[in-house]
């Protein structure tokens, strides 16, 4: 089957920052309860979720919009400072630049669908010069209205931003909740990138059609994906 566009998750996919999010949430969670988030909690309740979803789990009740804004802003400020302090590791994923250049040269429709908030997305746009490859207006992010992954909403919206049906799109994801989101949105093909989790995790997920460990062999990705050039 031919596909017409590609949608990237961002965190853990184009930017391998999962460890920084883990560190930031661990540090921040101890301000709210006596012990830090565990790895299992992170995988189940954090990756691909909105700050509201995570904070609901953390405090055990649905927080007010004002509390979400306050606590979420505090945590994301901790995270962004960690990125600024670690310039050596604050860069796009291995071979992502080459892959994005190829997609641009071949006029493949593409966008980003991330549950990061606007402050973080603005940081990414500036830090990684994302306007080189993406129409900034087509990036979909957590605006307080979109349901968090694993709900299908964000990938349905991203496909519509490209002017495509979800089944005509390829999604590249690292989070289990994001893979479920793409599946629920009826995305045509889901590629898992094992940036932090073991390949074996994704081998057990039937919705995943292909597993990659970086973007180095993007000719293989394209070959197996059969993206339709415009």
Query: Averaged in consecutive runs of 10 residues, what is the pLDDT profile of the chain (230 residues)?
Result: 92 92 87 87 79 88 90 89 94 96 94 94 97 98 90 98 97 95 97 95 96 84 66
**Of 165, 51, 167, residue with least CA distance to 115:** 51
Question: 35: buried, middle or exposed (CB in 10 Å: 19+, 13-18, 0-12)?
Answer: exposed
Contact 155, 7 (CB under 8 A): yes
Q: What is the pLDDT of residue 161?
A: 98
Q: Three-class SS of residue 212?
A: strand
Domain boundaries, given as residue ranges, for the chain: 5-16+90-225, 18-87
Q: What is the pLDDT of residue 229?
A: 60
Q: What is the pLDDT of residue 182?
A: 98
Q: What is the pLDDT of residue 211?
A: 94
CA distance 224 to 226: 6
CATH class of the 5-16+90-225 domain in this structure: alpha beta
**Of 124, 115, 118, residue with least CA distance to 181:** 115
Q: CATH number of the domain at 18-87, out of 1.10.260, 3.40.190, 1.10.150, 3.40.50?
A: 1.10.150
């Amino acid at each position: 089957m031919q596909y017409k566009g590609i949608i990237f998750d961002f965190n853990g996919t184009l930017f391998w920052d999962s460890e920084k999010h883990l560190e930031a949430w661990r540090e921040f969670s101890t301000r709210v309860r006596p012990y830090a988030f565990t790895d299992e909690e992170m995988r189940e309740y954090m990756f691909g979720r909105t700050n509201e979803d995570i904070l609901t789990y953390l405090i055990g009740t649905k927080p007010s919009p004002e509390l979400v804004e306050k606590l979420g802003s505090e945590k994301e400020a901790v995270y962004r400072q960690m990125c600024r302090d670690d310039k050596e590791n604050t860069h796009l994923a291995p071979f992502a630049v080459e892959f994005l250049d190829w997609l641009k040269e071949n006029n493949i429709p593409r966008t980003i669908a991330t549950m990061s908030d606007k402050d973080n997305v603005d940081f990414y746009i500036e830090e990684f010069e994302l306007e080189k490859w993406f129409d900034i207006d087509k990036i979909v992010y957590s605006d307080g209205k979109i349901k968090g992954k694993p709900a299908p909403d964000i990938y349905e919206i991203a496909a519509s931003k490209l002017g495509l049906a979800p089944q005509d799109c390829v999604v590249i994801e690292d989070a289990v909740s994001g893979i479920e989101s793409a599946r629920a949105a009826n995305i045509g093909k889901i590629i898992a990138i094992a940036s932090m989790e073991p390949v074996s995790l994704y081998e057990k997920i039937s919705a995943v059609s292909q597993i990659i460990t970086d973007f180095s062999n993007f000719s293989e990705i394209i070959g197996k994906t059969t993206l339709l050039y415009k």
